[in-house]
Structure 1
Amino acid sequence: MKHSIIFVLVFSLFVMSANAQIKPGDQLPKLTLTDVSGKSMDLQPIKGKVVLVDFWASWCGPCRVTNKKLVKLYEKYKIANLEIVGISLDKDKSKWLAAVKKDKITYMQLNDPEGFEAKSAIAFGVEQMPASYLFDAAGRLVAINPTEDQIKNEVNKKK
């Protein structure tokens, strides 16, 4: 009997987490988060733009390395049709802001200060970082943790 109850609980958790994670073809979730100036911003598709949503935190070493790569990618492709939205899961706003400044991030930065329990992390199914999600110009998810080539290919697609 104990094994049956444990199985049901584990299976229920698996189903709930599977339903929370977005899948290719899904639309960009609608969320409202705070930007670096403290203003509430809606996360929504940017008409005609490819959007890369990147989850990170100031304390995550691999995230900080990725930030440097994304800064260069953004500088190269922002004129085309690429937008990058960084979502920090930092609980300490001052550490997040210091990392944004140190990493010289110029693309949109938002904060969801509840860590992996944050609404945005749950909506996207973030279980580790860095984690990124590539949306096409119509706002549909086309890749999870895309390569740089996948991002470039999506940006360079003919409209």
Structure 2
Amino acid sequence: MKTLIPATLAVLLNLNVLLVGAEPPDKPQAASTNVASVAKPAGDALQSRMQSVLQTSLMKGSENSAAGLIYMEAETRKLFKEFPERPEPYELLMSAATFCDAEKARKLAHEIVDSKVADVEIKARAAGLLKNLDNVGKPLALKYSALDGRAVDLEKLKGKVVLVDFWATWCPPCIGMLPHLKATYNELKPRGFEILGISYDDDRQKLESFLKREQVSWPQFFDEKGRENKFALEFGVQALPTMWLVDKKGTLRYLNAGNDLVQKVKTLLDE
């Protein structure tokens, strides 16, 4: 089973809160879900250091997201030297890679893929990131029948700016981001902004109840397969929330739209 990091550094930095994601409550905790779940005994020195690096990165990033990422990479490299045989620090490097600019992300992802120490699942995530980086600037194909029966086809949404939101109701940072998404949607929908949800839930009733309660109106993909859903596998997205932004021509422009979302959307709407 693939594992997830259900928290994105970018979202955490933007919200200026410490939200560490978790596996669904009815699922066993995966070792690589986040740095808190590293499968090592309590008090493990590396685990404690990684927690400290993550928390300090978030604090630094609350004022400047770039500063948080720079700190995370620098401290992670210190951990490589201190714990040369341990694969866990590559979790932190992967987090940094996911939210860096494309050039830096590509460099870090290649480093992870080429590592002799990083574990198989981290390498798989890095390979998935490289694949998606190659797709930036290219047309994105996305077509599905939504949870409520609506037919969704990104091809037919040309002329609009579209956010593709990979999320789950069991992901705290996803829920934390929701008010911002709803406000952005309500503000910019009249100008041609749309959101397409890709749910990683596996309980239809729970998802429908959540959407109704929170008044989420945009169409949701749901196939009951949770973390193994069709688009999770097709696109290799294993970090939640992940937000892609597609321009009016149907071209994938951003893999990390959560940072400065409103400005990114407005810029694409003005093109």
- Tell whether the structures are fold-level matches, with TM greater than 0.5: yes
Give the fraction of aligned pairs with identical amino acids, expressed as a percent: 32
Does residue 1:150 correspond to 2:239, yes or no? Answer: no
CA gap 1:49/1:117 in 2 versus in 1, 3 angstroms: same
Does residue 1:88 correspond to 2:202, yes or no? Answer: no
The within-5 A match list for 1:1-150 is 17=128, 21=132, 23-32=135-144, 34-37=145-148, 39=149, 41-45=151-155, 46-146=157-257, 147=259, 148=261, 149-150=263-264
- State the aligned residue count: 147
Name the one with the larger helix percent. 2
Q: Which amino acid aligns with 2:222?
A: N
Structure number, greater radius of gyration: 2
Runs of 4+ in 1 over 4 A off after TM superposition: 12-16
Where does the alignment leave 5 or more consecutive residues of structure 1 unmatched? 1-6
- Aligned counterparts of 1:119 and 1:20: Cα–Cα separation in 2: 17
TM-score by length of 2: 0.48
Matched residue SS, 1:73? helix
Q: Contact 1:20/1:123 (CA < 8 Å) preserved in 2?
A: no
Name the one with the larger strand percent. 1
Residues 125-151 of structure 1, C-alpha deviation per residue, up to 9 Å, x if partnerless?
211101110000000010012121212
Where does the alignment leave 5 or more consecutive residues of structure 2 unmatched? 1-115
TM-superposed CA distance for 1:17, in Å, is 3.7
Note the aligned Cα RMSD (angstroms).
Answer: 2.5
- Aligned counterparts of 1:152 and 1:141: Cα–Cα separation in 2: 16
TM-superposed CA distance for 1:118, in Å, is 1.5
